[in-house]
Amino acid sequence: MTSSTETVSKQDIIDYSARLGDDAIVIGHRLSEWVSRAPFIEEDVALGNVALDFFGHARMYYTHAAQLSNEQNGTDDITEDDFAYLRDERQFQNHLLHELHKGDFAYTTARQLLIDVYNKYFLEQLEKSNDETLAAIAVKASKETKYHCRRSKDWTLRLGDGSSESHKRMQLALNDIWGYSHELFELDDLEQRLVDAGIAVDCTLLKADWLKEVTAIIEEATLTVPDQEWAVRGGRQGYHTEHLGHLLTEMQFVHRSFPGAKW
Amino acid sequence: MIHSVDLYSKNRIIKVVNILTTGEEMTKYNKSEAELEAIFQQKIDSEQKIEPKDWMPEAYRKNLIRQMSQHAHSEIIGMQPEGNFITRAPSLRRKTVLLSKVQDEGGHGLYLYSATETLGIERSELISALQSGQAKYASIFNYPAQTWGDMGAIGWLVDGAAIVNQVSLQRTSYGPYARGMIRICKEESFHQRQGYVIMMELAKGTPAQKQMAQDSLNRFYWPSLMMFGPHDSESAHSAKSMKWKIKRETNDDLRQKFIDQTAPQIAYLGLEHPDKDLVWNEEKGQHDSGEIDWEEFYAVINGNGHSNRQRIQHHVKAHEEGAWVRDAMSEYKQKKLQRKINAETAA
Ligand SMILES: [Fe+2]
Ligand SMILES: [Fe+2]
For A84-116, how does the pLDDT look when each residue is reduced to its tens digit (9 = 90+)? 999 999 999 999 999 999 999 999 999 999 999
Task: State the complex-level ipTM.
Answer: 0.96
The DSSP call for residue B279 is E
A262 interaction partners in chain B (CB closer than 8 Å): 201, 205
The secondary structure element, H or E, covering residue B99 is helix B92-117
What whole-number distance in Å separates Cα of residue A190 and Cα of residue A238? 14
Residues for chain A: how many in total? 263
Q: Please state the rounded mean pLDDT for residues A35-60.
A: 98
Is the minimum CB–CB distance between B90 and chain A shorter than 8 Å? yes
Note whether B205 contacts A165, CB cutoff 8 Å.
no
Q: Tell me, what's the pLDDT at B22?
A: 57
Q: In the A/B pair of chains, how many CB contacts fall below 8 A?
A: 144
Q: Which of A58, A59, A60, A78 is nearest to A68 (CA)?
A: A78
Query: How far does residue B303's CA lie from ligand 2's centre (Å)?
Result: 24
Task: Kindly list the protein residues that place their beta carbon closer than 5 angstroms to ligand 2, a single-atom ion.
Answer: B 159, 188, 191
CB atoms within 10 A of CB B272: 12
Going by pLDDT thresholds of 50, 70 and 90, the confidence category of residue A1 is very low
**Candidates B95, B197, B307, partner chain A, best to mutate (most A CBs within 10 A):** B95
Note whether B88 contacts A250, CB cutoff 8 Å.
yes
Q: Tell me, what's the pLDDT at A176?
A: 97
B11 interaction partners in chain A (CB closer than 8 Å): 42
C-alpha gyration radius of chain B: 23
Q: Tell me, what's the pLDDT at B17?
A: 39
- Alpha-carbon distance B58 to nearest alpha carbon in chain A (angstroms): 29
CB B110 within 8 A of CB A45: yes
Note whether B109 contacts A41, CB cutoff 8 Å.
yes
Closest CB from B88, B327, B329 relative to A251: B88
Q: How far is CA A155 from CA A167, A180, A183, A217, B258, in A?
A: 11, 21, 25, 10, 45
Tell me which CATH homologous superfamily contains domain A10-256.
Ferritin, core subunit, four-helix bundle (1.20.1260.10)
Note whether B332 contacts A158, CB cutoff 8 Å.
yes
* Contacts of residue A197, Cβ cutoff 8 Å, sequence gap at least 6: A3, A4, A5, A6, A7, A8, A130
Is the minimum CB–CB distance between B91 and chain A shorter than 8 Å? yes
Q: Tell me, what's the pLDDT at A229?
A: 83
Closest CB from B79, B92, B322 relative to A58: B92
Secondary structure class of B320 (helix, strand, coil): helix
Helical H segments across chain A, by residue range: 10-32, 41-73, 80-85, 96-99, 105-126, 132-160, 164-177, 189-196, 207-220, 243-257
Note whether B322 contacts A105, CB cutoff 8 Å.
yes
Q: Tell me, what's the pLDDT at B347?
A: 79
Q: Tell me, what's the pLDDT at B237?
A: 67
Domain residue extents for chain A: 10-256
Q: From first to last of the 347 residues of chain B, give the pLDDT tens digit.
A: 333 333 333 333 333 434 555 556 566 677 888 999 999 999 999 999 999 999 999 999 999 999 999 999 999 999 999 999 999 999 999 999 999 999 999 999 999 999 999 999 999 999 999 999 999 999 999 999 999 999 999 999 999 999 999 999 999 999 999 999 999 999 999 999 999 999 999 999 999 999 999 999 999 999 999 999 999 888 776 788 899 999 999 999 999 999 999 999 999 999 999 999 999 999 999 999 999 999 999 999 999 999 999 999 999 999 999 999 999 999 999 999 999 999 999 87
Is the minimum CB–CB distance between B99 and chain A shorter than 8 Å? yes
The secondary structure element, H or E, covering residue B107 is helix B92-117
Secondary structure class of B288 (helix, strand, coil): strand
Note whether A165 contacts B327, CB cutoff 8 Å.
yes
Residue A65 amino acid letter: A
CB-based burial of residue A229 (10 Å sphere; 0-12 exposed, 13-18 middle, 19+ buried)? exposed
DSSP code per residue over B170-198 = TT-SBHHHHHHHHHHHHHHHHHHHHHHHH
A58 interaction partners in chain B (CB closer than 8 Å): 92
The secondary structure element, H or E, covering residue B281 is strand B279-281
Residue B309 amino acid letter: R
C-alpha gyration radius of chain A: 18
Is the minimum CB–CB distance between B53 and chain A shorter than 8 Å? no
- Alpha-carbon distance A87 to nearest alpha carbon in chain B (angstroms): 14
Condensed to tens digits (0 to 9), the pLDDT of residues A200-231 reads 999 999 999 999 999 999 999 999 999 878 99
What whole-number distance in Å separates Cα of residue B107 and Cα of residue B85? 19
CA dihedral of residues A171, A174, A178, A180 (deg, nearest 10): 150
Is the minimum CB–CB distance between B80 and chain A shorter than 8 Å? yes
Closest CB from B103, B110, B318 relative to A37: B318
Is the minimum CB–CB distance between B177 and chain A shorter than 8 Å? no
Condensed to tens digits (0 to 9), the pLDDT of residues B278-292 reads 999 999 999 999 999
Secondary structure class of B16 (helix, strand, coil): coil
Note whether B206 contacts A255, CB cutoff 8 Å.
no
Q: Which of B232, B248, B228, B119 is nearest to B181 (CA)?
A: B248
Residue of chain A whose Cα is closest to the Cα of B322: A39
Q: Tell me, what's the pLDDT at A64?
A: 98
Q: Which of B67, B73, B191, B190 is nearest to B119 (CA)?
A: B67
Is the minimum CB–CB distance between B322 and chain A shorter than 8 Å? yes
For A188: left if phi > 0, alpha if psi spans -120 to 50, otherwise beta; the answer is: beta
Secondary structure class of B87 (helix, strand, coil): helix
Query: How far does residue A142's CA lie from ligand 2's centre (Å)?
Result: 31
Q: Tell me, what's the pLDDT at B134?
A: 96
Q: Tell me, what's the pLDDT at A5?
A: 52
Note whether A56 contacts B107, CB cutoff 8 Å.
no
| Phi, psi torsion values for B286, nearest 5 degrees | -155, 175
Q: Which of A53, A41, A158, A155 is nearest to B11 (CA)?
A: A41
Secondary structure class of B50 (helix, strand, coil): strand
pTM for the structure as a whole: 0.93
Q: Tell me, what's the pLDDT at B78?
A: 98
